Amino acid sequence: MAKKIAVGIDIGTYQIKVVVAENVGAGASATGRDFPRVLGMGFAESRGLRHGYITNPEDVAKSLSHAISQAEKTSGVRISRAFLSVGGIGLGSVTSNGSIIISRGDSEIDELDVSKVHEICEKEIPAAMITNRKIIHPIPLQYKLDGKTVLGNNPVGLRGNKLECRMLFITCLEHHLHTLIEAVEEAGVEVIDVMAAPLAASFVTLNKSQKIAGCALANIGAETVSLVVFDENKPQSLEVFSVGSTNITNDIALGFKIGLDDAEHVKIGGITTINFPRKKLDDIIDARLADMFELIETHLKKLGQSQLLPAGIILTGGGASLGHIDEIAKKSLALPAKVAVIHAGDPSKSPFKDSSWSVAYGLCVWGLSTDDSGSVNFSKTAKKVKGKVSAFIKQFLP
């Protein structure tokens, strides 16, 4: 596979999506990089998953193989290696603090000191919040030197006595990660590296000004809603809720006493022979969406960010196409709200019909920003992905 080509695989509960993209330098992306050109795409109905968690690896591998075959046919590229997203209810985050005393005679902070304080932060994570979990992204949120905040978030080269750090650790269930990778390998694809799905989506749905001002990105999936909150250009929290657009389908089926297939068609506005009162349908959908946004509002209150995100909430994923979801979000959260659009160069030439492809394409953007040596501070984990997985997210730093 050519070095300027990257493949992103997003294994969701409803669909598996594969994107093949080439770095051709077509323009500046939301993350300051060039927009990769999409060479091919493939998708398949997901089988063997529940709430984003793999219940049958063999079924997942078969579905993935079908999606890969499509992507290979449309792109003309043989797919043997890929970047993989991790999502579902096993994904989460925890914040921890640590500090060290600078021992050098001249009191100057070097890279070793920064590494030490990062290790202290990791050791300070409560055991109950890290047991059976693996850290996939350690992200430094703030440094303090002798009690004063370090501007620019880079203490190297400064002088002081005490270095403090607050870090966000994005984690996933260790067993789930291993099973996910094994399913991909069963389909004949080597995993280059893994990334939390909401972060991958943020690369192509948010711009830097939104991340600096403060915003939330909510991915409305089939059985989960994932939420990542940004402030000062860094993710402050990542949370996954065990509810999704499938719950709306179930509510419609119960409300109109119809089968699930018919309820799904009714939900997405498909052609159906079933007569139903439009107001009742809107009430059913609105009620379930309001429940979802209530969970998000509760989480924002815990963060102290309720009604305090100037760039508002951006909605992505398959469920984001439901009716006037942005208006419900705006009313429920008292924040600006809009449905995400994938930043992929010229909007008139975008191959993406909706934002449900944001994770797979975001993985390509990430993959094309790195090389096999990890020269942009991305830890390459192809040979040790089943050991300690970590990636320093340089894009989130000022």
In tens, the pLDDT along 297-335 reads 999 999 999 999 999 999 998 888 887 899 999 999 999
Q: What is the pLDDT of residue 51?
A: 76
> Cα–Cα distance between 334 and 312 in angstroms, integer?
9
Q: What is the pLDDT of residue 268?
A: 80
Q: Which residues lie below 8 Å from residue 283, measured CB to CB, with a gap of 6+? A: none
Confidence of residue 397 (pLDDT cuts 50, 70, 90): very low
Q: Which of these ranges, 11-20, 338-347, 382-391, has the smallest mean pLDDT?
A: 382-391
pLDDT at 374 over 60: no
pLDDT at 350 over 80: no
Q: What is the pLDDT of residue 377?
A: 34
Q: What is the pLDDT of residue 384?
A: 45
Q: What is the pLDDT of residue 286?
A: 92
Q: Which of 201, 130, 202 minimizes the C-alpha distance to 171?
A: 130
Confidence of residue 383 (pLDDT cuts 50, 70, 90): very low
Confidence of residue 382 (pLDDT cuts 50, 70, 90): very low
Please count the residues of the chain. 398
Q: What is the pLDDT of residue 168?
A: 97
**pLDDT tens digits, 194-233:** 999 999 999 999 999 999 999 999 999 888 999 999 999 9
Q: Which of 63, 15, 8, 11 minimizes the C-alpha distance to 319?
A: 15
pLDDT at 276 over 50: yes
The reported pTM is 0.87
Q: What is the pLDDT of residue 14?
A: 86
Do 126 and 64 form a contact (C-beta atoms < 8 A)? no
* Of 241 and 352, the one with more pLDDT: 241
**pLDDT tens digits, 77-136:** 999 999 999 998 889 999 999 999 998 889 999 999 999 999 999 999 999 999 999 999
Q: Which of these ranges, 58-62, 366-370, 378-382, 390-394, has the smallest mean pLDDT?
A: 378-382
pLDDT at 396 over 60: no
> Cα–Cα distance between 387 and 243 in angstroms, integer?
31
Confidence of residue 278 (pLDDT cuts 50, 70, 90): confident
Amino acid type, 307: Q
Task: At 36, list the tokens.
Answer: 């990769």
Task: Report the pLDDT averaged over residues 51-75.
Answer: 91
Task: Report the pLDDT averaged over residues 240-266.
Answer: 91
pLDDT at 271 over 90: no
pLDDT at 387 over 80: no
Helix 325-333 to helix 278-303 angle, to the nearest 10 degrees?
40
Q: What is the pLDDT of residue 370?
A: 56
| Average pLDDT value over all residues in the chain | 87
SS (H, E, C) the chain: CCCCEEEEEEECCCEEEEEEEEEEEEEECCCCCEEEEEEEEEEEECCCEECCEECCHHHHHHHHHHHHHHHHHHHCCCCCEEEEEECCCCEEEEEEEEEEECCCCCCECCHHHHHHHHHHHHHCCCHHHCCCEEEEEEEEEEEEECCEECHHHCCCCCECCEEEEEEEEEEEEHHHHHHHHHHHHHCCCEEEEEEEHHHHHHHHHCCHHHHHHCEEEEEECCCCEEEEEEECCEEEEEEEECCCHHHHHHHHHHHHCCCHHHHHHHHCCCCCCCCCCHHHHHHHHHHHHHHHHHHHHHHHHHHCCCCCCCCCEEEECHHHHCCCHHHHHHHHHCCCEEECCCCCCCHHHCCCCCHHHHHHHHHHHHHCCCCCCCCCCCCCCCCCCCCCCCCCCHHHCC
Task: Report the pLDDT averaged over residues 169-182.
Answer: 94
**pLDDT tens digits, 25-46:** 644 444 445 679 999 999 999 9
Q: What is the pLDDT of residue 21?
A: 94
The domains found in the chain, sorted by start residue, are 5-89+174-206+351-393 (3.30.420.40), 91-171 (3.30.1490.110), 225-339 (3.30.420.40)
**pLDDT tens digits, 131-151:** 999 999 999 999 999 999 998
Q: What is the pLDDT of residue 373?
A: 35
